[in-house]
Amino acid sequence: MLGAALGKAAGLVASGLAGAVAYDGVKRVARSGAVREAAVTMTSWGLRGARAAETGAEKARLATADIVSEARGRIGEEAPVPGDGHGHGHEH
């Protein structure tokens, strides 16, 4: 019975020591700024990806507008005035 209790106690001490070492490691990483640096890096990658997607969407929109314009020209239709067709609110 004493051996079992000592075995459990040794297991608890080893587990506590491993936890303390892990906790100290996490504290060191947090103090070093590595977590913040990683977050900034990931955010910058996300921003680059978003900009690339926006650029791709704009290129697709322009290509579609060119195709529609050319198709209208082929059937003799004039392209409508951009916006609501009433100009932009003042005379030139």
3-state secondary structure 12-56: HHHHHHHHHHHHHHHHHHHHHCHHHHHHHHHHHHHHHHHHHHHHH
Is 47 a domain residue? yes
In a domain, residue 35? The reply is: yes
* Structural domain contains residue 55: yes
**Confidence label for 41 from pLDDT (cuts 50, 70 and 90):** very high
Q: What is the mean pLDDT of residues 5-21?
A: 77
Q: What pTM was estimated for this model as a whole?
A: 0.47
Evaluate whether residue 54 is within a structural domain: yes
User: Domain for residue 5, yes or no?
Assistant: no
- Kindly state whether residue 62 falls inside one of the protein's structural domains: yes
- Rounded to the nearest integer, the mean pLDDT of the chain is 82
Q: What is the pLDDT of residue 16?
A: 81
Query: Structurally, how many domains does the chain consist of?
Result: 1
Question: Rounded mean pLDDT of 25-35?
Answer: 77
User: Quick check: is 69 in a domain?
Assistant: yes
Domain span including residue 60: 19-74
